[in-house]
Structure 1
């Protein structure tokens, strides 16, 4: 394995993983990412990458489509089965349309044919890292809202579901077979627990929970 800019101080920075059986290509890509001040780490094959890399780290994967002992598509599948959503950029020296379609359907962010312009790859990497960052922010926000929702009592969850569906307090009371005053108390409590100052914010959070 070859590493570039691997100090502990950079551990929170996005990392560009390179997997390619061509040593010259690995060295070239690492040099490119070093010059452009990107943190990068390279591996000669998929199994080595899966064994040694932190697939939960922020960043992206640049992988050769055709490698002995396991293709880039095989590696993409392994990542998917492992629950990793690391963005994948495929490199290939073959104009393989079928493989390109399969890779993109499986979630690849880009498919670049060798030889390629350095800027095209850098643009693809920047795009992949942005997507990964946005996804992580969304996941973090969902986790925060999920934690708030877990503090609700079963009855408060019922009231929230009814309220965000558009029912008024008296309608919620009728649906749940409780008094309107009890609904108001539950509503006040759940708004506080969900850290929502408005119905619109509560609806937004409920929608995020549903998308989960």
Structure 2
């Protein structure tokens, strides 16, 4: 089941959205009457789509987006704004909102955005899986093996790496063989691909 969070201080709107989304039959629904209440629960929330009102007492929708961006929660946000609030909508997008919709809106239009948000979450999962696998492989390497891998990614030969690290070429060859084994790479190109997938700028 998918998860949708509704955050709006207007009880009528929360109820309307809850009823409309419940008819989909494929969503767990959680409603919050303020940005403060949502942020207080944030640490325990799972992946999902957030329908977020921009104007609320206490923490505004923009405030909530800033708090959300500071976490590792995988939550795709659709901001609900009043008409002619394009500047606010743009600011919301800058703070991490995936989409926005102007009130009043047709439920069918909102459902289309919800579907698109779930597709974006699936795409993010698909892209994250190989990165996570590559990072786990990189973590198997010792500090010295990572240094050798950095050299390989930089296009250095074994001799050049040996000079840089003040090692013998034979020692570099041993480290290189260990790198290939731990990365499950059958070629230098495959090892470099793993490093780049794992965002090699950050593993050294």
Q: Is structure 2 residue 13 aligned with structure 1 residue 14?
A: no
Q: CA deviation at 1:116?
A: 1.5
Q: Is structure 2 residue 36 aligned with structure 1 residue 27?
A: no
Equivalent residue pairs, number = 200
- Are the aligned partners of 2:53 and 2:79 in contact in 1 as well (CA < 8 Å)? yes
- Are the aligned partners of 1:14 and 1:59 in contact in 2 as well (CA < 8 Å)? yes
The alignment yields a C-alpha RMSD, in angstroms, of 2.3
* Structure 2 spans left out of the alignment, 5+ residues: none
- Are the aligned partners of 1:14 and 1:57 in contact in 2 as well (CA < 8 Å)? no
Q: CA deviation at 1:99?
A: 0.8
Task: Classify 1:175/1:53 alpha carbon distance in 2 versus 1 (closer, same or farther; 3 Å).
Answer: closer
Q: Is structure 2 residue 106 aligned with structure 1 residue 106?
A: no
Q: Is structure 2 residue 190 aligned with structure 1 residue 206?
A: no
Q: CA deviation at 1:139?
A: 4.1
Q: CA deviation at 1:28?
A: 1.9
Task: Classify 1:112/1:148 alpha carbon distance in 2 versus 1 (closer, same or farther; 3 Å).
Answer: same
TM-score computed with the length of structure 2 as normaliser: 0.84
* Structure 1 spans left out of the alignment, 5+ residues: 1-12
Query: Within 1, Cα distance between the matches of 2:180 and 2:145?
Result: 10
Question: Alignment partner of 1:87: what SS?
Answer: strand
Q: Could you give the per-residue CA deviations for residues 123-173 of structure 1, whole angstroms, max 9, x where no partner exists?
A: 222222222333344445434333322221222112111112222333333
Q: CA deviation at 1:15?
A: 0.8
Query: Within 2, Cα distance between the matches of 1:211 and 1:161?
Result: 9
TM-score computed with the length of structure 1 as normaliser: 0.81
